[in-house]
Amino acid sequence: MFVIIGVVTLLVGIVGGYLMEHGNLSVLWQPAEVVIIGGAALGAFFIMAPIKMVKAVFKSVAGVLKPSSLNKETCIELLVLLNGLFRKIRKEGLLALEADVNDPQAIESFREFKRVLANHHLMNFICDNFKVIISTNMSHYELDSLMDLDIEATHAEEALPASLVTKVADSLPALGIVAAVLGVVLTMGKISEPPEVLGHHIGAALVGTFLGILASYGFVGPIATNIELKVQEEGALFTLVKTAIVSSVSGAAPQTAVEFGRRAIPGSVRPSIAELEDAIKQWNPKA
């Protein structure tokens, strides 16, 4: 929602200011300049990125319109889920989790955690690490290092789309100049025309520079930043899981392990102890 508000505000500010100076909007409507800049930017993007990353970038750009995955409700749900897993381990042993982590979508008790289940990367991270705990005798120090490595590799991969979109944004002002130069070349072919005609063509050529800079700093650059911030928010959920699981493996009680996880949540979305306790009691009245 805020992305749409930002786009509308940006356009109203630019167009409104232009009209306040009695500008002619028809001069800004230059489809040929848009084709040159947009086509060149898209072509350069296809040259720099393999097909796998092209798909990832388009998916990330579409995700800009989606709400953030890091919110208080998701954090509470994740903590309640982890609390349930830790309590099950404490009561029934590690092997009791084997069926759960092998196919969480099929486990009835997991289906109420819709936000967590919808995040496939996060669920795979949880299940993979519990499988390691079940099948190996790994210490919590080793598990901590292993999970850090996993988070780092995942973060590096998910940060690539933002980096590629930033490179496209950096190229747009130069591509705007290319469109402007082509417009000047066309104008020079009409040098014998009256000043009014020449002025119109020169103005149309300069619109190319304007569009390239606007697209770079007004749209594509902010989209890259938005993607980057979403990756960082996603990483906070992984850190929450890592902190809680490592604490549990080191011997902490379920309530203590979950509290370690809660403290890993950024303060702006961190649930209070009371909120978390209420959520746990609603899920498990005997807790």
Torsion sign across C-alpha atoms 82, 86, 87, 92 = positive
For residue 100, being part of any structural domain is answered with yes
Q: Is the pLDDT of residue 170 over 90?
A: yes
User: Residue 237 corresponds to which tokens in the numbers above?
Assistant: 């959920």
For residue 125, being part of any structural domain is answered with yes
In whole angstroms, give the CA distance from residue 187 to residue 191.
7
Tell me the percentage of the chain whose pLDDT exceeds 90.
53
More confident residue, 105 or 134: 134
Q: Is the pLDDT of residue 110 over 90?
A: no
User: Residue 111 corresponds to which tokens in the numbers above?
Assistant: 């289906």
Tell me the percentage of the chain whose pLDDT exceeds 70.
97
| Domain count of the fold of the chain | 1
For residue 63, being part of any structural domain is answered with yes
pLDDT tens string 21-50: 888 888 888 898 999 999 999 999 999 999
For residue 3, being part of any structural domain is answered with no
Picking from 143, 119, 148, 141, the residue whose alpha carbon sits closest to that of residue 131 is 143
What is the extent of the structural domain holding 169?
Answer: 31-283
Q: Is the pLDDT of residue 89 over 70?
A: yes
Contacts of 244 (CB under 8 A, 6+ apart): 79, 82, 86, 257, 258, 260, 261, 264
User: Residue 274 corresponds to which tokens in the numbers above?
Assistant: 């009371």
Phi-psi region of 251 (alpha: psi -120 to 50; beta: other; left: phi over 0): left
- State the average pLDDT for the chain: 89
pLDDT tens string 237-274: 999 999 999 999 998 999 999 999 999 999 889 999 99
The packing angle between helices 31-48 and 51-63, to 10°, is 120
